[in-house]
């Protein structure tokens, strides 16, 4: 079993449970590492000093039980200066350039409005710009790993606005993936939409995950939990899917002896 999660949200942003509730859930599941990744974006802007203080307190309080890491989920249109001292950054895209505020994962109706306003209803043009935003933003080295890479499909199981196997969709996604993988940035296999019953496919979908493997990319598995009981939601599915796409290991973040945070690898067939 994978005993680490780095993507989770608390009452500091849009999560249901407190930060301590999340740590207690991690301890109950015998986790070895648990990372906090509160949102910093135009819609959800945490009280950063209070968040840092609480995560720091929890790290000390639970030091003998679990390794607690201080992270952030930073949106691609937001300034990294808003989160000084973050030990890791999930680079995500919830917004389209030219339409802030207005998240693409709030509702199907809002996302369609954004597509209509900016792209005349052309979903493939919007998807192309969405992936270009991530490739252009994160290759500069502002993030530790890429979060829910294909979030632009958040409502596609219901709306079918995009054919996710169409080259007009897959080609720009693969091109962006290649750019980021070449810079050594791992991609998150994000379980959030599946573990909350919102999508049938993990992010990234299998075709993209296979391409990531083929271009030498790396993965990290995260629950994207917004409540304590889902901190390991769909981990077994993520491990199985990664192995199906020929990955042999996943990556985890750990505190080293000098206090820095670094990557380690876990063989998938041991989880």
Residue 24 pLDDT > 80: yes
Q: Whole-prediction pTM value?
A: 0.96
Q: What is the pLDDT of residues 87-99, one digit of tens each?
A: 999 999 999 987 7
More confident residue, 40 or 68: 68
Burial track 25-55 (b if 16+ CB lie within 10 A, e otherwise): bbeebebebbbbbbbbbeebebebeebbebb
Q: How confident is the model at residue 119 (pLDDT cuts 50, 70, 90)?
A: very high
More confident residue, 78 or 190: 190
Query: Alpha-carbon distance 24 to 62, whole Å?
Result: 9
Q: What is the pLDDT of residues 228-252, one digit of tens each?
A: 999 999 999 999 999 999 999 999 9
Helix (H) or strand (E) holding 210: helix 206-214
What CATH number is associated with residue 64?
A: 3.20.20.140
CA-wise closest residue to 203 among 187, 184, 218, 217: 187
Segments forming the whole domain that contains residue 15: 4-270
Q: How confident is the model at residue 142 (pLDDT cuts 50, 70, 90)?
A: confident
CA-wise closest residue to 94 among 105, 84, 86, 83: 105
Number of domains in the chain: 1
CA-wise closest residue to 19 among 6, 8, 28: 8
Average pLDDT over residues 142-165: 97
């Amino acid at each position: 079993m994978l005993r680490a999660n780095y993507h989770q949200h608390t009452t500091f942003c849009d999560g249901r449970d407190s930060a301590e509730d999340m740590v207690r859930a991690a301890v109950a599941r015998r986790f070895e590492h648990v990372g906090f990744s509160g949102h910093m974006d135009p819609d959800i802007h945490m009280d950063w000093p209070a968040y840092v203080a609480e995560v720091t307190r929890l790290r000390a309080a639970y030091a003998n039980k679990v390794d607690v890491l201080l992270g952030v989920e930073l949106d691609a249109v937001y300034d990294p200066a808003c989160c000084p001292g973050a030990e890791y950054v999930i680079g995500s895209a919830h917004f389209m350039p030219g339409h802030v505020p207005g998240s693409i994962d709030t509702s199907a109706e809002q996302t369609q409005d954004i597509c209509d306003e900016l792209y005349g209803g052309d979903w493939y043009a919007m998807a192309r710009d969405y992936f270009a935003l991530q490739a252009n933003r994160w290759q500069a080295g502002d993030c530790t790993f890429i979060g829910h890479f294909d979030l632009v499909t958040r409502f596609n199981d219901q709306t079918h606005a995009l054919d996710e196997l169409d080259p007009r969709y897959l080609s720009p996604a693969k091109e962006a993936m290649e750019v980021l993988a070449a810079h050594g940035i791992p991609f998150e296999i994000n379980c959030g939409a599946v573990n909350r019953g919102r999508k049938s496919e993990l992010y990234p979908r299998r075709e993209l995950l296979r391409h990531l493997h083929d271009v030498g990319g790396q993965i990290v598995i995260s629950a994207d939990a917004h409540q304590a009981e889902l901190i390991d939601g769909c981990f077994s599915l993520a491990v199985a899917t990664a192995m199906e796409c020929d990955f042999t290991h996943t990556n985890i973040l750990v505190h080293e002896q000098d206090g820095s945070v670094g990557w380690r690898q876990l063989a998938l067939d041991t989880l």
